[in-house]
Structure 1
Amino acid sequence: MGKPKNTKTAAAWSLVILGAGFAATLPFQQYGWARLLAGAFEAGLVGGLADWFAVTALFRHPLGIPIPHTALLPKNRDKLTNALVSTVENNLLNKDSIASKIADIRLADLVLGGVEKGLRTPEAAASIDVLAKRLPP
C-alpha cells in the first residue's frame, strides 16, 4: 500500500513555497509578468492560510489562542452526535420515509423498460422468429 502521506508537512511546505515565491517577486513589480506571478503566489498563500485556519478552528484553537467560536467540534460533540442520531432515526430510517422511497420506485416501468430495450436487439428478433416458426398453425 505504500507509506501514508504526511499532509501536514506537505501543507506547510506549500505555504513556505508560496510565501517565498511571493517575496521573491516583490522586487520585480515594475514588470507585468512579475506582478501577475506575485498575484498568483499571494492568492495561493492567502487561500492556503484561510483554509488552514478554518479547518484548524473546527477542531482546536489555532496557535493555542482561545479565539471565540473556535474548537467547535470538541465543545459541541454531544450536541452534534445527538443531532446526527436524531436525523438518521427520524428522517432516514423511519417507517414513513422508507415506505415513500419504496412507493417512488416504479417497478413495472423499470421491468417493462428493460424488456422493451431487450426486444429491440437482433438476438431477440432471431429468438422470436424461431419461436413463431415452431408454433402450430
Structure 2
Amino acid sequence: MALAHVASLRSEDPYRKVGAAALDFDNRVIGTAYNGLAPGFNPSKGFWDDRDARQKYMLHAEVNLCSLFRRGEVKLVACTTMPCTSCMQTLCAYGVREIYFRDIYHASDAQEIAELYGIHLEQVTSYPLMPGPSED
C-alpha cells in the first residue's frame, strides 16, 4: 500500500491523486502507476480549473497499471482508492486475484464484482509509510 501511496504523489491532478502498485506471484513489484493524462499530452492553460470538464480525459491509476503487464502476470494490486466499476472490470479481465485499497469509493460496484468473480477485495487503513528509526 505504501508503494501505491508514493505513486499517487506523482499525479498531476490537483483534486484527486490515486496510485496503484502490482505484485506478481513471487511478490515482486511489477510496476506502479497513478491517475493522469495520456503520456506526452500537455494540457492548455486552465485545463485543471474545471474538474468536471477535464474528468473524462483522466486515465485511472488501475488502467495505467494494467498497461505495464500481461494477463495472468499479476497476483495482487494495491490502490489508494477502491477501484471504480470500470477499473474493477479491467482488473478482473487481467486476472488479478487480490485487490487491496485504502479509501472507499461509494459510487463503485467493486464489491459485487469481486464477489461474483471470487476476487479478494479488502480495505487496508494502516500501513507503513516510512521506515522506523534506525539503530546505530
> Normalising by structure 2, what TM-score?
0.21
Structure possessing the higher radius of gyration over alpha carbons: 1
> Normalising by structure 1, what TM-score?
0.21
